[in-house]
Amino acid sequence: MKNISLLGSTGSIGVSTLEIIKSFPHHYRVVALAAGKNVDLLLQQIEVFQPEVVAVVAEEDADYLASKLHDHGIEVGFGVAGMIRCATLAAADMVVAAIVGAAGLEPTLAAIQAGKDVALANKETLVMAGGLIMAEVRRQGIKLIPVDSEHSAIFQSLSGQRHTDVRRLILTASGGPFRDLEREKFGEITPSSALAHPNWAMGRKISIDSATMMNKGLEVIEAHWLFGIPAEQIAVHIHPESIVHSLVEYHDGALLAQLGIPDMKTPIAYALSWPERLPLEQPPLDLCAMSRLTFSHPDRERFPCLRLAYEALAEGGTLPAVMNAANEIAVEAFLANRLDFVGIPVLIEQVMKRHQIQAASSVDSVLQADDWSRNEAKRMLSGGQA
Protein backbone atom coordinates (compact mmCIF):
# COMPACT_ATOMS: atom_id res chain seq x y z
CA MET A 1 0.00 0.00 0.00
CA LYS A 2 1.43 3.36 -1.07
CA ASN A 3 0.16 6.47 0.70
CA ILE A 4 -0.40 9.42 -1.63
CA SER A 5 -0.54 13.16 -0.95
CA LEU A 6 -2.15 14.86 -3.93
CA LEU A 7 -1.47 18.55 -4.54
CA GLY A 8 -3.93 19.99 -7.05
CA SER A 9 -6.68 17.43 -6.55
CA THR A 10 -9.45 19.33 -8.35
CA GLY A 11 -7.51 20.03 -11.55
CA SER A 12 -7.53 17.74 -14.58
CA ILE A 13 -4.42 15.81 -13.48
CA GLY A 14 -5.70 15.56 -9.92
CA VAL A 15 -9.09 14.23 -11.00
CA SER A 16 -7.47 11.61 -13.26
CA THR A 17 -5.08 10.62 -10.48
CA LEU A 18 -7.97 10.00 -8.10
CA GLU A 19 -9.79 7.94 -10.73
CA ILE A 20 -6.74 5.68 -10.98
CA ILE A 21 -6.39 5.43 -7.20
CA LYS A 22 -10.08 4.55 -6.87
CA SER A 23 -9.57 1.73 -9.39
CA PHE A 24 -6.71 0.26 -7.34
CA PRO A 25 -7.81 0.53 -3.69
CA HIS A 26 -5.40 -2.18 -2.56
CA HIS A 27 -2.42 -0.35 -4.08
CA TYR A 28 -2.97 3.25 -2.96
CA ARG A 29 -4.44 5.29 -0.12
CA VAL A 30 -4.98 9.06 -0.18
CA VAL A 31 -3.65 10.71 2.99
CA ALA A 32 -3.78 14.37 1.91
CA LEU A 33 -5.59 16.51 -0.64
CA ALA A 34 -4.73 20.09 -1.56
CA ALA A 35 -6.86 22.13 -3.94
CA GLY A 36 -7.48 25.64 -5.17
CA LYS A 37 -10.94 27.19 -5.12
CA ASN A 38 -13.22 24.34 -6.19
CA VAL A 39 -14.38 23.55 -2.67
CA ASP A 40 -17.49 21.67 -3.76
CA LEU A 41 -15.48 19.15 -5.77
CA LEU A 42 -12.93 18.89 -2.97
CA LEU A 43 -15.71 18.01 -0.51
CA GLN A 44 -16.84 15.22 -2.83
CA GLN A 45 -13.26 13.92 -3.01
CA ILE A 46 -12.92 14.06 0.78
CA GLU A 47 -16.12 12.04 1.17
CA VAL A 48 -14.78 9.30 -1.10
CA PHE A 49 -11.11 9.16 -0.03
CA GLN A 50 -11.21 10.27 3.63
CA PRO A 51 -7.76 11.91 3.80
CA GLU A 52 -6.06 12.89 7.06
CA VAL A 53 -5.27 16.44 5.94
CA VAL A 54 -6.74 18.83 3.37
CA ALA A 55 -5.78 22.34 2.28
CA VAL A 56 -7.13 25.12 0.08
CA VAL A 57 -5.82 28.48 -1.07
CA ALA A 58 -8.11 30.88 0.78
CA GLU A 59 -8.67 31.09 4.54
CA GLU A 60 -12.42 31.62 4.13
CA ASP A 61 -12.67 28.41 2.11
CA ALA A 62 -10.72 26.60 4.82
CA ASP A 63 -13.16 27.90 7.43
CA TYR A 64 -16.06 26.65 5.32
CA LEU A 65 -14.41 23.24 4.94
CA ALA A 66 -13.73 23.04 8.66
CA SER A 67 -17.40 23.71 9.40
CA LYS A 68 -18.40 20.89 7.07
CA LEU A 69 -15.80 18.45 8.39
CA HIS A 70 -15.90 19.13 12.13
CA ASP A 71 -17.11 15.56 12.87
CA HIS A 72 -14.66 13.86 10.50
CA GLY A 73 -11.39 14.41 12.36
CA ILE A 74 -9.74 15.84 9.25
CA GLU A 75 -7.13 18.59 9.61
CA VAL A 76 -7.84 21.63 7.42
CA GLY A 77 -5.20 24.16 6.32
CA PHE A 78 -4.89 26.97 3.81
CA GLY A 79 -2.38 28.96 1.80
CA VAL A 80 1.23 28.02 1.24
CA ALA A 81 1.54 26.65 4.76
CA GLY A 82 -1.44 24.36 4.21
CA MET A 83 -0.02 23.09 0.91
CA ILE A 84 3.35 22.44 2.53
CA ARG A 85 1.64 20.58 5.38
CA CYS A 86 0.05 18.24 2.83
CA ALA A 87 3.34 17.88 0.96
CA THR A 88 5.33 16.93 4.05
CA LEU A 89 2.80 14.77 5.90
CA ALA A 90 4.66 11.99 7.68
CA ALA A 91 2.22 9.33 6.45
CA ALA A 92 2.79 10.16 2.76
CA ASP A 93 5.08 7.91 0.71
CA MET A 94 4.66 9.86 -2.53
CA VAL A 95 3.52 13.37 -3.37
CA VAL A 96 1.76 13.99 -6.68
CA ALA A 97 2.63 17.60 -7.52
CA ALA A 98 -0.18 18.71 -9.82
CA ILE A 99 -0.71 22.34 -8.76
CA VAL A 100 -0.72 24.51 -11.88
CA GLY A 101 1.80 27.33 -12.18
CA ALA A 102 4.36 28.92 -9.89
CA ALA A 103 2.22 28.11 -6.84
CA GLY A 104 3.56 24.57 -7.03
CA LEU A 105 7.20 25.48 -6.37
CA GLU A 106 7.30 25.79 -2.59
CA PRO A 107 5.15 22.74 -1.75
CA THR A 108 7.05 20.56 -4.23
CA LEU A 109 10.41 21.65 -2.83
CA ALA A 110 9.13 21.03 0.70
CA ALA A 111 8.09 17.50 -0.27
CA ILE A 112 11.56 16.79 -1.66
CA GLN A 113 13.24 18.21 1.44
CA ALA A 114 11.01 15.97 3.56
CA GLY A 115 12.32 12.94 1.67
CA LYS A 116 9.14 12.19 -0.27
CA ASP A 117 9.17 10.63 -3.72
CA VAL A 118 7.49 13.04 -6.14
CA ALA A 119 5.36 12.41 -9.22
CA LEU A 120 5.87 15.74 -10.96
CA ALA A 121 3.10 17.23 -13.07
CA ASN A 122 3.99 20.83 -12.20
CA LYS A 123 6.54 21.77 -14.86
CA GLU A 124 6.85 25.33 -13.53
CA THR A 125 8.78 24.03 -10.51
CA LEU A 126 11.69 23.05 -12.74
CA VAL A 127 11.26 26.02 -15.07
CA MET A 128 11.65 28.45 -12.18
CA ALA A 129 14.25 26.68 -10.05
CA GLY A 130 15.50 23.61 -11.88
CA GLY A 131 19.05 23.77 -10.58
CA LEU A 132 17.93 24.14 -6.98
CA ILE A 133 15.31 21.40 -7.28
CA MET A 134 17.57 18.82 -8.91
CA ALA A 135 20.35 19.51 -6.39
CA GLU A 136 17.88 18.82 -3.58
CA VAL A 137 16.65 15.66 -5.33
CA ARG A 138 20.22 14.35 -5.39
CA ARG A 139 20.84 15.45 -1.81
CA GLN A 140 17.75 13.68 -0.49
CA GLY A 141 18.08 10.62 -2.74
CA ILE A 142 14.38 10.67 -3.62
CA LYS A 143 12.70 9.60 -6.85
CA LEU A 144 11.41 12.40 -9.09
CA ILE A 145 9.21 10.79 -11.74
CA PRO A 146 7.72 12.92 -14.53
CA VAL A 147 3.98 12.90 -15.18
CA ASP A 148 3.85 15.10 -18.30
CA SER A 149 3.22 12.75 -21.21
CA GLU A 150 6.29 14.02 -23.09
CA HIS A 151 8.69 13.63 -20.18
CA SER A 152 7.20 10.30 -19.20
CA ALA A 153 7.81 9.14 -22.77
CA ILE A 154 11.46 10.23 -22.56
CA PHE A 155 11.81 8.67 -19.11
CA GLN A 156 10.54 5.37 -20.52
CA SER A 157 12.66 5.61 -23.68
CA LEU A 158 15.79 6.16 -21.57
CA SER A 159 15.10 3.13 -19.42
CA GLY A 160 17.99 0.67 -19.57
CA GLN A 161 20.05 2.98 -21.79
CA ARG A 162 23.22 4.97 -21.10
CA HIS A 163 22.58 8.70 -20.95
CA THR A 164 26.02 9.26 -22.45
CA ASP A 165 24.75 7.63 -25.65
CA VAL A 166 21.98 10.20 -26.17
CA ARG A 167 22.29 12.44 -29.21
CA ARG A 168 19.14 14.45 -28.60
CA LEU A 169 15.65 14.45 -27.10
CA ILE A 170 12.66 15.12 -29.35
CA LEU A 171 9.56 16.49 -27.67
CA THR A 172 6.40 16.16 -29.72
CA ALA A 173 3.66 18.81 -29.81
CA SER A 174 0.19 18.65 -31.30
CA GLY A 175 0.58 22.26 -32.48
CA GLY A 176 -2.61 23.20 -30.66
CA PRO A 177 -5.83 24.44 -32.24
CA PHE A 178 -4.14 27.06 -34.44
CA ARG A 179 -1.34 25.11 -36.08
CA ASP A 180 -2.94 25.57 -39.53
CA LEU A 181 -4.57 28.96 -39.00
CA GLU A 182 -3.27 31.79 -41.15
CA ARG A 183 -1.09 34.15 -39.10
CA GLU A 184 -3.10 37.17 -40.22
CA LYS A 185 -6.12 35.67 -38.42
CA PHE A 186 -4.38 35.29 -35.05
CA GLY A 187 -5.82 38.65 -33.98
CA GLU A 188 -9.31 37.12 -34.20
CA ILE A 189 -8.58 34.29 -31.76
CA THR A 190 -10.94 34.22 -28.77
CA PRO A 191 -10.48 32.50 -25.38
CA SER A 192 -13.17 29.94 -26.23
CA SER A 193 -11.45 28.93 -29.47
CA ALA A 194 -8.04 28.78 -27.76
CA LEU A 195 -9.44 26.49 -25.06
CA ALA A 196 -10.67 23.97 -27.65
CA HIS A 197 -7.62 21.69 -27.85
CA PRO A 198 -7.99 19.15 -30.68
CA ASN A 199 -6.52 16.13 -28.85
CA TRP A 200 -6.10 16.59 -25.10
CA ALA A 201 -8.48 17.42 -22.25
CA MET A 202 -6.59 19.95 -20.14
CA GLY A 203 -7.15 22.80 -17.72
CA ARG A 204 -7.67 26.38 -18.90
CA LYS A 205 -4.15 27.67 -18.32
CA ILE A 206 -2.42 24.69 -19.91
CA SER A 207 -4.81 24.80 -22.87
CA ILE A 208 -3.84 28.40 -23.60
CA ASP A 209 -0.16 27.54 -23.17
CA SER A 210 -0.65 24.78 -25.72
CA ALA A 211 -2.27 27.21 -28.15
CA THR A 212 0.69 29.64 -27.88
CA MET A 213 3.20 26.74 -27.68
CA MET A 214 4.52 28.18 -24.41
CA ASN A 215 3.64 24.81 -22.92
CA LYS A 216 6.22 23.20 -25.18
CA GLY A 217 8.75 25.86 -24.28
CA LEU A 218 8.24 25.14 -20.59
CA GLU A 219 8.65 21.44 -21.35
CA VAL A 220 11.99 22.07 -23.08
CA ILE A 221 13.28 23.74 -19.91
CA GLU A 222 11.83 20.95 -17.77
CA ALA A 223 13.48 18.30 -19.95
CA HIS A 224 16.83 20.07 -19.65
CA TRP A 225 16.74 19.80 -15.86
CA LEU A 226 15.12 16.37 -15.60
CA PHE A 227 17.49 14.61 -17.95
CA GLY A 228 20.62 16.78 -17.87
CA ILE A 229 20.56 17.41 -21.62
CA PRO A 230 21.73 20.78 -23.07
CA ALA A 231 19.13 22.94 -24.79
CA GLU A 232 20.78 22.55 -28.19
CA GLN A 233 20.16 18.79 -27.94
CA ILE A 234 16.44 19.19 -27.22
CA ALA A 235 14.23 19.49 -30.30
CA VAL A 236 10.50 20.02 -30.76
CA HIS A 237 8.54 18.36 -33.56
CA ILE A 238 4.92 19.13 -34.44
CA HIS A 239 3.00 15.85 -34.42
CA PRO A 240 -0.72 16.57 -34.91
CA GLU A 241 -1.87 13.01 -34.20
CA SER A 242 -0.49 13.06 -30.61
CA ILE A 243 0.33 9.34 -30.74
CA VAL A 244 4.13 9.48 -30.43
CA HIS A 245 4.54 11.22 -27.10
CA SER A 246 8.28 11.89 -27.47
CA LEU A 247 11.49 10.26 -28.67
CA VAL A 248 15.12 9.77 -27.71
CA GLU A 249 17.71 9.70 -30.47
CA TYR A 250 20.97 7.86 -29.75
CA HIS A 251 24.44 8.31 -31.23
CA ASP A 252 24.09 5.19 -33.38
CA GLY A 253 21.03 6.65 -35.09
CA ALA A 254 18.47 4.60 -33.18
CA LEU A 255 15.26 6.36 -32.15
CA LEU A 256 13.31 5.02 -29.20
CA ALA A 257 9.78 6.35 -28.80
CA GLN A 258 6.79 5.82 -26.53
CA LEU A 259 3.41 5.63 -28.27
CA GLY A 260 -0.09 5.61 -26.88
CA ILE A 261 -3.53 7.14 -27.05
CA PRO A 262 -3.67 10.80 -25.96
CA ASP A 263 -4.83 10.21 -22.39
CA MET A 264 -3.01 11.42 -19.28
CA LYS A 265 -4.00 8.40 -17.22
CA THR A 266 -1.20 6.33 -18.74
CA PRO A 267 1.71 8.58 -17.64
CA ILE A 268 0.02 9.30 -14.29
CA ALA A 269 -0.37 5.59 -13.57
CA TYR A 270 3.24 4.91 -14.59
CA ALA A 271 4.51 7.58 -12.20
CA LEU A 272 2.43 6.12 -9.38
CA SER A 273 3.46 2.51 -9.99
CA TRP A 274 7.00 2.76 -11.40
CA PRO A 275 8.83 0.47 -12.10
CA GLU A 276 5.68 -1.65 -12.39
CA ARG A 277 2.73 -0.98 -14.69
CA LEU A 278 -0.91 -0.94 -13.70
CA PRO A 279 -3.48 -2.85 -15.81
CA LEU A 280 -5.52 0.19 -16.87
CA GLU A 281 -8.79 -0.28 -18.69
CA GLN A 282 -7.69 1.89 -21.61
CA PRO A 283 -8.69 1.37 -25.25
CA PRO A 284 -5.81 -0.15 -27.21
CA LEU A 285 -3.88 1.90 -29.73
CA ASP A 286 -4.91 0.58 -33.16
CA LEU A 287 -1.91 1.36 -35.36
CA CYS A 288 -3.46 -0.40 -38.34
CA ALA A 289 -6.39 2.01 -38.30
CA MET A 290 -4.09 5.00 -38.72
CA SER A 291 -3.42 6.28 -42.19
CA ARG A 292 -0.25 8.13 -41.21
CA LEU A 293 1.81 9.74 -38.45
CA THR A 294 3.22 13.12 -39.45
CA PHE A 295 5.96 15.36 -38.11
CA SER A 296 7.17 18.86 -38.93
CA HIS A 297 9.38 21.58 -37.48
CA PRO A 298 7.67 24.33 -35.47
CA ASP A 299 7.70 27.90 -36.74
CA ARG A 300 9.20 30.03 -33.97
CA GLU A 301 8.05 33.20 -35.70
CA ARG A 302 4.49 31.94 -35.81
CA PHE A 303 4.72 30.80 -32.17
CA PRO A 304 7.28 33.13 -30.54
CA CYS A 305 6.67 31.74 -27.05
CA LEU A 306 8.75 28.71 -28.00
CA ARG A 307 11.61 30.99 -29.02
CA LEU A 308 11.32 32.94 -25.77
CA ALA A 309 11.60 29.74 -23.72
CA TYR A 310 14.80 28.69 -25.49
CA GLU A 311 16.19 32.19 -24.93
CA ALA A 312 15.29 32.12 -21.24
CA LEU A 313 16.97 28.74 -20.82
CA ALA A 314 20.10 29.97 -22.63
CA GLU A 315 20.35 33.08 -20.43
CA GLY A 316 19.54 31.17 -17.25
CA GLY A 317 19.51 32.65 -13.79
CA THR A 318 16.18 34.22 -12.85
CA LEU A 319 15.03 34.79 -16.44
CA PRO A 320 13.05 31.53 -16.78
CA ALA A 321 11.12 32.40 -13.60
CA VAL A 322 10.42 35.88 -14.99
CA MET A 323 9.24 34.45 -18.29
CA ASN A 324 6.97 31.97 -16.53
CA ALA A 325 5.41 34.60 -14.26
CA ALA A 326 4.83 37.03 -17.14
CA ASN A 327 3.18 34.22 -19.08
CA GLU A 328 0.82 33.43 -16.20
CA ILE A 329 -0.26 37.08 -16.03
CA ALA A 330 -0.61 37.28 -19.82
CA VAL A 331 -2.76 34.15 -19.95
CA GLU A 332 -4.99 35.46 -17.15
CA ALA A 333 -5.40 38.73 -19.04
CA PHE A 334 -6.23 36.93 -22.29
CA LEU A 335 -8.85 34.74 -20.61
CA ALA A 336 -10.35 37.89 -19.08
CA ASN A 337 -10.46 39.58 -22.52
CA ARG A 338 -7.95 42.21 -21.40
CA LEU A 339 -5.23 41.12 -23.85
CA ASP A 340 -5.50 39.68 -27.33
CA PHE A 341 -3.88 36.39 -28.33
CA VAL A 342 -0.98 37.94 -30.24
CA GLY A 343 -0.32 40.19 -27.25
CA ILE A 344 0.63 37.25 -25.01
CA PRO A 345 4.19 36.75 -26.36
CA VAL A 346 4.62 40.51 -26.81
CA LEU A 347 3.97 41.15 -23.12
CA ILE A 348 6.21 38.27 -22.04
CA GLU A 349 9.11 39.45 -24.19
CA GLN A 350 8.81 43.04 -22.99
CA VAL A 351 8.93 41.94 -19.35
CA MET A 352 11.92 39.69 -20.06
CA LYS A 353 13.80 42.57 -21.69
CA ARG A 354 13.23 44.78 -18.64
CA HIS A 355 14.56 42.22 -16.18
CA GLN A 356 18.04 42.44 -14.73
CA ILE A 357 19.03 38.79 -14.55
CA GLN A 358 20.31 37.51 -11.22
CA ALA A 359 21.67 34.13 -10.21
CA ALA A 360 18.91 31.73 -9.15
CA SER A 361 20.92 30.97 -6.03
CA SER A 362 18.04 30.45 -3.63
CA VAL A 363 14.29 29.98 -3.58
CA ASP A 364 13.97 33.52 -2.25
CA SER A 365 15.80 34.94 -5.27
CA VAL A 366 13.53 32.98 -7.60
CA LEU A 367 10.37 34.08 -5.80
CA GLN A 368 11.53 37.70 -5.82
CA ALA A 369 12.03 37.51 -9.59
CA ASP A 370 8.60 35.91 -9.94
CA ASP A 371 7.01 38.70 -7.88
CA TRP A 372 8.83 41.42 -9.84
CA SER A 373 7.70 39.93 -13.13
CA ARG A 374 4.05 39.74 -12.10
CA ASN A 375 4.05 43.34 -10.93
CA GLU A 376 5.80 44.52 -14.07
CA ALA A 377 3.41 42.63 -16.34
CA LYS A 378 0.39 44.01 -14.49
CA ARG A 379 1.83 47.54 -14.67
CA MET A 380 2.30 47.22 -18.42
CA LEU A 381 -1.21 45.85 -18.88
CA SER A 382 -2.59 48.84 -17.03
CA GLY A 383 -0.79 51.18 -19.43
CA GLY A 384 2.44 51.82 -17.53
CA GLN A 385 5.57 52.73 -19.48
CA ALA A 386 9.15 51.65 -18.93
For residue 35, pLDDT beyond 70: yes
pLDDT at 179: 85
For residue 386, pLDDT beyond 50: no
pLDDT at 177: 84
- DSSP label at residue 88: T
| % of residues, the chain, pLDDT over 70 | 98
Give the model confidence (pLDDT) of 47-98 as tens digits: 999 999 999 999 999 999 999 998 888 999 999 999 999 999 999 999 999 9
Averaged over 29-36, what is the pLDDT? 97
**N-terminal to C-terminal alpha carbon distance within the chain:** 56
**Burial class of residue 195, CB neighbours in 10 A (0-12, 13-18, 19+):** middle
The alpha carbon torsion through 156, 162, 163, 169 (nearest 10 deg) reads -50
H helix intervals, 186-315? 191-194, 204-212, 214-227, 265-273, 304-315
Averaged over 14-35, what is the pLDDT? 97
Give the model confidence (pLDDT) of 165-202 as tens digits: 999 999 999 988 888 888 888 888 888 888 876 665 56
H helix intervals, the chain? 12-23, 39-49, 59-68, 79-87, 105-113, 124-140, 149-158, 191-194, 204-212, 214-227, 265-273, 304-315, 319-335, 343-354, 363-381
Give the model confidence (pLDDT) of 322-366 as tens digits: 999 999 999 999 999 999 999 999 999 999 999 999 999 999 999
Domains within the chain, CATH numbers bracketed: 2-146 (3.40.50.720), 151-263+286-312 (no CATH), 316-386 (1.10.1740.10)
pLDDT at 85: 98
Give the model confidence (pLDDT) of 318-329 as tens digits: 999 999 999 999
| % of residues, the chain, pLDDT over 90 | 86
Most distant pair of Cα atoms in the chain: their distance: 63
**b/e map of 344-366 (b: 16 or more CB within 10 Å)?**
bbebbbebbebbeebebeebebb
The mean predicted confidence, pLDDT, of the chain is 94
